[in-house]
Structure 1
Amino acid sequence: MNKRVSFSGYFRMKSFSGFAKNQCLRPSSIVKTLPGLVGDLPFTLETGYVRIGGSDDDVQLFYYFIESEGSPKDDPLVLWISGGPGCSSIYALLYEIGPLTLNFETSTMEKPILEIVPDSLTKVASIIFLDQPAGSGFSYGKTPEAYITNDTLSAIHVYDFMKKWLVDHPKFLNNPLYLGGDSYSGIVVPMIVQEIYNGNEVGERPQINIKGYTLGNPLTDRSGDYNSRIQFAHNMALLSDAIYESTKKNCHGDYFKVDPNNSLCIHDLQVVDKEDNYMYSYAWANRRDVREALHIREEYGHTEWVQCNRTLQFYFDKKAISYTHDVHSSVGYHQRLTSKKCRALIYSGDHDMAIPYFSTLNWIESLNLSVVDDWRPWFVDDQVAGYTKKYSRGDYKLTFATVKGGGHTAPEYKHKECLSMLKMWLANDTINHVYKEMLLNKSEEDLLFRL
């Protein structure tokens, strides 16, 4: 493979010798087998592209669709978007909620090994894993202009995708639809949900059976989320009292919009920065046989797949190359959704320093909702899995939950707990139900002993 070269910052060019020349260009295809997995897939996997935009700047959005392994006719339909922006949805499929994962003990860079996940969310829901915007995962644009986008346009594109996908899959029109995502999708998902409600109200076709949304470790308010990191690091004993007090004093409590001439503040902020690598997924997705199995279009065949496209991502200290971050807070979208008949689940790993849970709780409290169930533990296998609080206003219901020991993002660290939580919530249950059942069957002393 050749090294990637730049094309105005928008393309990541790469040659793949021997890539199938006669590859089918149908909008979608069923995948029966995948390299790295022995035998046929035990579930229905469809991959495909949906064209968004006009003929001059076509955006080709790629998706993985896994039909529910329970009752596809009745189970919820979930549209899942990864963060970044610019990160592939394969992250959620392989590391968070999907029915496949990589076996890290037996995998090598030359031969990544897949295995089946027994407790996937696809046991109770059909899931569309969407690569968006163009430049994310296997999604692409036909012109350089197609890669230039922003939060607002990205939300419009996903709404357009959902309408077109449902037209092509009419048997899912009546299934309850939930949007889901994590990290940066906390900005975009509430915007998409608002687009869907607005479209339904003005008579857009098809009418979408939207029921709610779920967000994990969501970026919501850039200033508030970022500023809370310093306090969180101090609370977790990652920063000494001396460093914390010095940073708070020199930066005047604002660590987001820093005066470039404030050298004392800048020095104090050079404390923590870390990044994860997912090299096996990179090696797997860039294999020719994997691309052929997934029916990746020949037009994409020269492009290097990356987990997250850095030209699209958000950085606090610099502008992205092709993605304009035009929405700095999605709190207003959450506020407007409180007037809808809508359910929301917001969850946070309580060890996430990227977007600390108390920052998320702060903006939820700013919505001024009524408290239905106050702060209390929730359980998985009779063990405390986190803490939860439930709110409402009219037909709007919001559940907030922490995931004990979860990082950024929670399902990767606490897979069993998060899958249990999501399944209960999708079943139109509340995760408090587990607590209430335990109250009926356990004495107060027994509960306190375990806490």
Structure 2
Amino acid sequence: MKIAFHLFVHFSLLVLVSCYGGNGYDPLENALKIQRSRRTIPKHASKDATVENSYIPVYVGPQDGLKDADKVSELPGQPAGTDFDQYSGYVTVDPSHGRALFYYFAESPINSSTNPIVLWLNGGPGCSSIGGGAMMELGPFRVNADSTTLSRNKYAWNNVANVLFLESPAGVGYSYSNTSSDYTTGDAQTAKDSYAFLVNWLERFPEYKTRDFYIAGESYAGHYIPQLTQLILQNNKITNQTVINLKGIALGNAYVDDETSNTGMYDYFWTHAIISDEIHEGIISNCNFSEGANITGECNYYQSEALTAKSSIYFYDIYAPLCSTFSNSTPSISGFDPCTGNYIHKYLNTPVVQQSLHAKPVQWENCNDFVGIHWKDMPFTVLPVIQDLMASGISVWIYSGDTDGRVPVTTTRYDINKLQTPVKTPWYPWMYQDEVGGYVVGYQNLTFVTIRGAGHFVPSYQPGRALAFFTSFLEGKLPPDQ
């Protein structure tokens, strides 16, 4: 009965789901429009915004035998010679609601018993870490154009870490709840559920309990990661609770502050010849994007003009072609196939694939707009939380693909300016294969890295440079200057 209800809820939401890559589709903006219309009182995430005053015990279910059951014998179409173990399945985070989060875990081919573990989170809010992170970006495989076979990603991040991809919150990807109201969620509940997932997952995989642990992700994970990290550090202080050996976080093209998200995006459009001087001046003269400010009709007009001028540019990677029948004749500068999202969608909806992943038979979608549009709590800024994390002693990195127009490098620079942290290592170009891979600034308790020629989904467009940056992050060293 519960499974039948779950399937009904999933299929009832299909009219409100979509995926990155669709022309003009922007799940972050869809969610932000709703949030901005609701805000009447200034609100931001304080340093203890996601932490209860008193500890509430986390549900921990029996995990015996579930690791073996989750082992993936083989993904359909995977290339011969696959030399690492894979696991996927569900972890219950709330048995009373029947809420369970889905994961995919790729161990390292070499040194899996000593390499750190990295949790990867995609954003949205409401978008899949399996379809995005695992299949399109940093996972061990890429889906081929036939939507049935896979190719090995030689720049996969599991070369240097054991990587755990989590579909969060419930309603995203294969994750689900048997209680329909759970699909109306927000930042605080997502952090709590992700923490409950980790505690239970570590019981299922106890050999990783003491392993160095990192969290990385992009876009709206700029909210997910700081708030989850804050919760982990707070709960680590409870001596009778599982201690997660958290060492660092990496935020990629991250949405962390609503004011800088707006000012940085329109400044980027102007400096990259996407909007005219007149439109840019109209926005500067008429828009106040600060917390609690009123957005005037004139401001809305010029924002609309900017989006019209952007037109058919895929602004997650402004120099990439759109997915179309002409894509093969107009290759991406980075070599990334802009129709990859379509191949992934078909692959992850193939029954034999879902069976191999131990997923329930549902219509998988990369992004669930119902979740994003009905998001309950979205603080105007999480910069105070990031400041708290910078002072905690863990490693905090912010990275930015410099061809992303959605959360561009200008936005990230404005974010860092608001953090008001002094420079320790001045700006310099870092090198990869005798070329500039990007640029670095080492701040006090913060590292900022750009990845040259990468869009919003950094490992998709520049996989070699992304792996080089990520390796430096894990080693706690600035990327090399030669």
TM-score of the superposed pair, with normalisation by structure 1: 0.82
- Out of 268, 271, 275, which is 1:232 matched to? 268
Greater Rg by CA = 1
Structure 2 counterpart of 1:287 = 350
The 1:169–1:8 alpha-carbon spacing in structure 2 relative to 1, beyond 3 Å, is closer
Structure 1 counterpart of 2:239 = 203
2:251 alignment partner, SS class: strand
Q: How many residues align?
A: 398
Structure 2 counterpart of 1:265 = 302
The 1:171–1:232 alpha-carbon spacing in structure 2 relative to 1, beyond 3 Å, is same
Q: Residues 39-438 of structure 1: matches in 2 within 5 Å?
A: 39=80, 41-55=82-96, 57-90=97-130, 91-103=132-144, 107-108=145-146, 111-251=147-287, 258-260=295-297, 264-265=301-302, 267-271=304-308, 272=310, 278-297=341-360, 301=361, 303-313=362-372, 320-321=373-374, 323-392=375-444, 397-431=445-479, 434-435=480-481, 438=482
The 1:236–1:263 alpha-carbon spacing in structure 2 relative to 1, beyond 3 Å, is closer
2:236 alignment partner, SS class: helix
Mind listing any 5+ residue stretches in structure 1 that lack a counterpart? Answer: 14-24, 314-319, 439-451
Letter in 2 for 1:327: P
Q: Partners in 2 of 1:211 and 1:294 — Cα distance? A: 29
Mind listing any 5+ residue stretches in structure 2 that lack a counterpart? Answer: 1-6, 16-64, 315-321, 323-338
The 1:42–1:335 alpha-carbon spacing in structure 2 relative to 1, beyond 3 Å, is same
Q: Partners in 2 of 1:10 and 1:387 — Cα distance? A: 46
Q: CA deviation at 1:410?
A: 1.8
The 1:10–1:398 alpha-carbon spacing in structure 2 relative to 1, beyond 3 Å, is farther
Q: Partners in 2 of 1:334 and 1:10 — Cα distance? A: 37
Mean Cα deviation higher: 282-291 or 34-43: 34-43
Residues 70 and 125, structure 1, Cα contact 8 Å, conserved in 2:
no
TM-score of the superposed pair, with normalisation by structure 2: 0.77
Q: Kindly provide the CA deviation profile for residues 328-371 of structure 1, in whole angstroms up to 9, marking residues without a partner as x.
A: 21111101112212001210011111112122122223223232
The answer to which structure, 1 or 2, has the higher relative contact order (CA under 8 A, 6+ apart) is 2
Q: CA deviation at 1:240?
A: 2.0
Q: CA deviation at 1:259?
A: 2.8
Residues 288 and 294, structure 2, Cα contact 8 Å, conserved in 1:
no
Does 1:36 find its partner at 2:67?
A: no
Which one has a larger percent helix, Structure 1 or Structure 2?
A: 2
Letter in 2 for 1:74: T
Q: Kindly provide the CA deviation profile for residues 247-302 of structure 1, in whole angstroms up to 9, marking residues without a partner as x.
A: 333446779963357674355344236667611100000001101111113xxx2x
Letter in 1 for 2:295: V
Letter in 2 for 1:208: I
Q: CA deviation at 1:383?
A: 0.5
The 1:164–1:264 alpha-carbon spacing in structure 2 relative to 1, beyond 3 Å, is closer
Q: Partners in 2 of 1:34 and 1:341 — Cα distance? A: 39
The 1:257–1:114 alpha-carbon spacing in structure 2 relative to 1, beyond 3 Å, is farther
Structure 1 counterpart of 2:333 = none
Letter in 1 for 2:111: S
The 1:168–1:143 alpha-carbon spacing in structure 2 relative to 1, beyond 3 Å, is same
Q: CA deviation at 1:325?
A: 3.6
Q: Partners in 1 of 2:10 and 2:352 — Cα distance? A: 29
Q: Kindly provide the CA deviation profile for residues 153-199 of structure 1, in whole angstroms up to 9, marking residues without a partner as x.
A: 10111111111111121111111000111011001100001101000
